[in-house]
Each structure stands twice: as C-alpha cells, then as structure tokens.
C-alpha cells in the first residue's frame, strides 16, 4: 500500500488519485499516530474527570486552544500519586492511541504529576 501522507493533490488529476477504503485510511492514520506519538508528555488542565465503576478514569486535558481526551486504566490509576480532579494542571505521560471505529484519538495515561 502506498504511504497516504506522500500524496500530492492536484485538482486537475483527481481521477488519477488512488482510491482507498475507509478501513485503509483509518489503519494508515492509526499507524502514523501511534508510531509518531508512542511516548509523550502532555501538560494541561484536567477537565471532566470521572471515575468509572471499573476503576478506570476518563478525563480530558485542555489548554486555551484545544482539548485532548484521555484515559487512565484501573491498574495505573491505583498507583498514581495524585487523584485526577477538575481544574488541576498536570503533566501526563503516555501514548496516543486511536479508535478507528469513531475516527477519534486519546491519550492513554501511564503516569501523571502536578505541573509546576
């Protein structure tokens, strides 16, 4: 399969563009995102933090221009030195993953500390 990100778009040659399925596009985006952002540190303010009955934490990190969805699985959450709370500015370390079924992405948190 061609690398989708190397395509040069020429409107006059639109019919010559390769055709991809939704699954192919989703897989290529997933591969690119998860390879490029396999280990990141993200600074942001916690927003919408909710602990599920399962023990997982679902939250968002935000700054003045964007919001990033995040999850902290139960096993990791139990080892955090801080409790996720709305309004708390943190640095979260983890990896960006994608869910092709919804064309969405999120940060899977591995560690989290108060920013400062």
Arithmetic mean of pLDDT, 93-104: 91
For residue 16, the model assigns a pLDDT of 84
Within 8 A by CB and 6+ apart from 7, the residues are: 17, 18
Whether residue 2 has pLDDT greater than 60: no
CB-CB contact of 89 with 83 (8 Å): no
pLDDT, position 6: 59
Q: Which residue has the higher pLDDT, 56 or 16?
A: 56
pLDDT tens digit sequence for 30-74: 999 999 999 999 999 999 999 999 999 999 999 999 999 999 999
- 22-50 as b/e: b if 16+ CB within 10 A: eeeebbbbeeeeeeebeeeebebbbeebe
Q: What is the DSSP letter of 8?
A: P
What tokens appear for 62 in the block? Answer: 């935000």
């Amino acid at each position: 399969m061609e690398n989708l990100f190397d395509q040069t778009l020429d409107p006059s040659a639109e019919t010559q563009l390769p055709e991809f399925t939704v699954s192919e596009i989703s897989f290529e985006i997933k591969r690119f995102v998860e390879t490029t952002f396999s280990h990141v540190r993200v600074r942001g303010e916690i927003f919408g933090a909710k602990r599920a009955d399962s023990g997982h934490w679902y939250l968002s990190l935000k700054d003045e221009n964007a919001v990033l969805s995040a999850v902290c699985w139960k096993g990791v959450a139990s080892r955090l030195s801080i409790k996720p709370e709305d309004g708390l500015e943190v640095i979260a370390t983890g990896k960006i993953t994608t869910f092709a079924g919804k064309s969405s992405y999120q940060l899977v948190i591995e560690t989290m500390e108060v920013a400062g």
